[in-house]
């Protein structure tokens, strides 16, 4: 109960609850779309999805400044790869929120001379840039962890024992590939924060890719991936130790 109260008392927590509901409605609508007796329910789900999306835009009005502030912090990271990828990700996210805020102003009628479709595409491009930079950071961190673990003598003994035990697998595939997969799986298991962040970013990647027409899937895939990433977002907010740093 304490975790639920902590989540709902944060604006970021409320946004993630709204996001989870939004994509859950989108995924459910897709699953029920071919059921004639569920047309009324589908209509209600789509209406709720729209309301959740509008509510999230209101919650995110101050996120542009938060992203710029985050970029100011990451620009001082000593590691050049992390510095460039995280700073670019935060700036891309800030630009995404600027576009999103302009779209919100147009939707409520405060600004009229804005091409909705054009700015929506701009927002998706900025979102895609941010996700790609985050995935570069995730890949780099995983690579660094793999190198560190591969140098560990105790782990080398475990890997050698694994290769000896899996002789059938070693004969079927390149032994180096088997060792690489064993190392990767070990990193994923021992560093859940990195694994969750990578999986979340991969799921989110389908949203702008579909919007921009780069990789078109369908509303069901977008809804399901958005739902998964939203649940991971809630988990990392409730359990800060599962949030990747920096």
Give the model confidence (pLDDT) of 152-198 as tens digits. Answer: 877 778 777 766 766 555 454 556 777 788 889 989 999 999 999 99
Task: Read off the pLDDT of each residue in 27-50 and give the average, rounded to a whole number.
Answer: 94
- Residue spans of the domains in the chain: they are 2-242
pLDDT at 227 (0 to 100): 97
Give the model confidence (pLDDT) of 91-144 as tens digits. Answer: 999 999 999 999 988 888 888 888 889 999 999 999 999 999 999 999 999 999
Give the model confidence (pLDDT) of 211-232 as tens digits. Answer: 999 998 999 999 999 999 999 9
- Any long-range contacts for 193-197 (C-beta under 8 Å, 24+ apart)? 193/236, 193/241, 193/242, 193/243, 193/244, 193/245, 194/138, 194/141, 194/142, 194/145, 194/244, 196/232, 196/235, 196/236, 196/242, 196/244, 197/134, 197/138, 197/236, 197/243, 197/244
pLDDT at 109 (0 to 100): 81
């Amino acid at each position: 109960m304490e975790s639920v109260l902590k989540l709902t008392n944060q604006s970021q927590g409320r946004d993630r609850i709204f996001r989870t509901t939004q994509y859950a409605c989108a995924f459910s609508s897709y699953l029920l779309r071919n059921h004639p007796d569920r047309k009324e329910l589908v209509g209600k789900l789509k209406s709720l999805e729209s309301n959740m999306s509008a509510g999230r835009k209101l919650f995110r009005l101050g996120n542009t400044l938060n992203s710029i502030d985050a970029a100011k912090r990451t620009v001082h990271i000593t590691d050049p790869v992390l510095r460039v990828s995280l700073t670019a990700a935060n700036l891309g996210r800030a630009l995404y929120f600027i576009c999103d805020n302009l779209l919100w102003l147009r939707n409520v009628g405060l600004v009229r001379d804005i091409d909705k479709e054009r700015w929506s595409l701009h927002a998706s491009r900025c979102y895609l840039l941010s996700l790609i930079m985050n995935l570069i950071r995730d890949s780099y961190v995983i690579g660094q962890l793999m190198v560190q673990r591969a140098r560990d003598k105790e782990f080398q003994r475990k890997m050698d024992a694994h290769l000896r035990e899996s002789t059938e697998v070693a004969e079927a595939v390149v032994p180096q590939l088997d060792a690489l997969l064993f190392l990767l799986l070990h990193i994923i298991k021992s560093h859940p924060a990195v694994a969750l962040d990578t999986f979340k970013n991969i799921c989110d990647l389908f949203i702008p890719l579909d919007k921009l027409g780069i990789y078109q899937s369908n509303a069901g895939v977008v809804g399901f991936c958005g739902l998964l990433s939203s649940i991971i977002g809630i988990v990392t907010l409730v359990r800060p130790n599962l949030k990747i740093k920096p």
